[in-house]
């Protein structure tokens, strides 16, 4: 698996969770980017405005910290352009 740049506080992100999409920002990030708190407007799943996620070591996939459901993250670049989907 290629090495990816760790997420940092303030990084813009596109979040897909349970088939719903929202744009948001990384509110908090661990030093290695493995655990994140995401902030967004509206509701995703049962989350209102924020969601904790954790990256699985082997696959690099992110999961909802409470329910264990898969969360897809896409980096957004300046101007809102989408980058690669994280695994």
pLDDT at residue number 1: 45
Helix, strand, coil distribution of the chain in percent, nearest 5: 5, 55, 40
Per-residue pLDDT 10s for the chain (87 aa) are: 455 788 999 999 999 999 999 999 999 999 988 999 999 999 999 999 999 999 998 888 999 999 999 999 999 976 555 555 555
The pTM assigned to this predicted structure is 0.83
Do 13 and 25 touch, CB atoms closer than 8 A?
Answer: yes
Task: Please name the residues in contact with 87: beta carbons below 8 A apart, sequence gap of 6 or more.
Answer: 1, 59, 60, 61
pLDDT at residue number 3: 58
């Amino acid at each position: 698996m290629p090495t990816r740049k760790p997420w940092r506080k303030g990084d813009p992100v596109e979040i897909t969770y349970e088939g719903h999409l929202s744009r948001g920002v990384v509110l908090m990030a661990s030093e290695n980017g493995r655990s994140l708190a995401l902030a967004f407007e509206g509701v995703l799943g049962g989350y209102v405005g924020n969601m904790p996620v954790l990256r699985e070591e082997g696959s690099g996939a992110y999961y909802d910290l409470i329910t264990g459901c898969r969360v897809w993250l896409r980096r957004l670049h300046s101007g809102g352009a989408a980058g690669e989907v994280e695994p």
